[in-house]
Homo-oligomer: A and B are copies of this chain.
Amino acid sequence: MSIAPIDKPTIPVAIVGPTSYTGLFLIRWLRLHPQAKVTYLASQRDQLPNIAEEFPQLRGVCELQCRPIDPAAIANEAELVFTCLPHVAAMEHVPSLLDAGLKVIDLSGDYRLKDPAVYEAYYKHKHSDIARLSEAVYGLPEFFADDIAGADLVSNPGCYPTAAALAVAPLVKAGLVKPAGIVINAATGVTGGGRRPSPAFHFPEANEAFGPYNVPGFHRHQPEMEQTITAVAGTPTRVLFVPHLLPVNQGILETIYLDPVDADLTADAAYDVYEQAYGDEPFVRIRNELPNISHVRDTNYCDLTARTAGGKVIVFAAIDNMVKGASGQAIQNMNLMFGLDQTAGLL
C-alpha cells in the first residue's frame, strides 16, 4: 500500500536474524505498516539466503537478500533494528548496533532481567553487557510507554510474561490479591519454541499431545514475570509458573489463580481495576466471555477475563505468542519510539 500521505515519513528498519519465526512475523506485519519499511535483513548464517527461499510464503511479498551483520552498513540503510537472535548471540551484537547509531528493539531474553545474577542463574550464561542492561527499557507499552518513547534500546518482553504481567499487576497494585501464592498455569503454541527442529517439536510427538515442559518454577519467564509485576505493583510479588505445550501453531492461554485479600471479592471488582488500568489501551480487551486463543490469533490483543470461585480469583489471559507476545509488541514499541500512534500497522 503506497497510500501513506506525503507528510508522514517512512521509517527504514532492519531485522537481524530474520530467518526466525519472530523475523517472519515482523516482515509480514511491517509490510502492512503505513510508515515503516524493511530495508535490510542481516543474518549470522554462513550461507545467506534470499528470505523468500527461506519462507516460500514471502514470494512476491518480500524477496530481500540476507546480508551479513554489519552495523555500519545497516545504519546506512535503517534507523531502527529488530534483533531476533537467540540469547547470548543478541548481547554480542546489540552494543555495536547501538554504537552505530541505530535504535534497537531486542526480542531475545538478554536484556529483560535487570539483575545479572538472576540472568546468569536462569540463562546459564554470564551477562556480557551489563552497562546496556541497566539502560534497556522493558518494552511493555501498557506500563512503560513513556520510557519506551525515549529509549534507544528496548527489550521486548517474553511472551508468557506479557500476558502474566498484564493480568496480574493491576490486581496486586490495587491490593485486591495477595502478592504470593499466585499460580500461572499456562499453555503455548509450538512456534513459541522457535524454528529449530527438535524431538519435542517433531510433528508426530507434538501432535495429539499435551503436557507440561519445564520443571515447575524453573522457566526463565518466571523471574521476568515477578520483576515486572513487582515493578508495576510496587509490591514484591512471587508467582509459580507452569508452562504446557499445545498442539497448535500460535497462541498462549494463561489460567491464573490468585488469593483475594478480601474473601468476598467479586469478579466485578477485578473488572473495575482492569477498566481503570486499561480503559484507554487499544490492545487490551477486557471481556466477559470465556477466552480462547482463537479469539486473539493473528492479532495484537491481550484478552482478559475474570471470575471468582472456590475462594480464588481466576483470571484468564490470552494472546498470540507471535504477535502481542513477540513481533506485534515489537512494532508497538517501534511506534512509540518514533512518535507514531501505537496502533499503526497493528489494527
Residues of chain A at the chain B interface (Cβ within 8 Å): 1, 3-5, 8, 21, 32, 34, 56-57, 59-61, 180-181, 183, 185, 187, 189-191, 195-199, 201-213, 215-218, 238-240, 242, 244, 246-251, 253, 255, 257, 285, 287, 289-299, 301, 303, 307, 309-312, 314, 316, 318, 344, 347
Contact = CB atoms under 8 A, between A and B. Distances in A.
A262 to B, nearest CB: 16
B244 A293 contact: no
A197 B199 CA distance: 6
A255 B248 contact: no
A278 to B, nearest CB: 12
Contacts of A312: 181, 183, 240
Nearest to A215: B307
15 contacts: A3-B3, A3-B5, A3-B8, A56-B287, A57-B296, A185-B255, A185-B257, A201-B204, A204-B249, A210-B253, A210-B294, A239-B310, A240-B257, A244-B255, A298-B298
Given A255-B244, A297-B57, A207 B202 contact: no
A207 B215 contact: no
The 5 A-B pairs of least Cβ separation, nearest first, read A240-B310, A217-B309, A211-B292, A197-B197, A209-B294
Contacts of A201: 197, 202-204
A311 B216 CA distance: 11
A204 B56 contact: no
A292 B210 contact: yes
B293 A203 contact: no
A57 B242 contact: no
Contacts of A248: 207-210, 247
A59 B285 contact: yes
B211 A291 contact: yes
B207 A207 contact: yes
A165 B103 CA distance: 49
A202 B257 CA distance: 30
B289 A56 contact: yes
Nearest to A211: B292
B57 A211 contact: no
A56 B247 contact: no
A196 B131 CA distance: 42
A289 to B, nearest CB: 6
A202 to B, nearest CB: 5
B57 A294 contact: yes
A255 B240 contact: no
Contacts of A291: 211-212
Contacts of A299: 57, 61
A216 B312 CA distance: 10
A318 B347 CA distance: 28
A310 B216 contact: yes
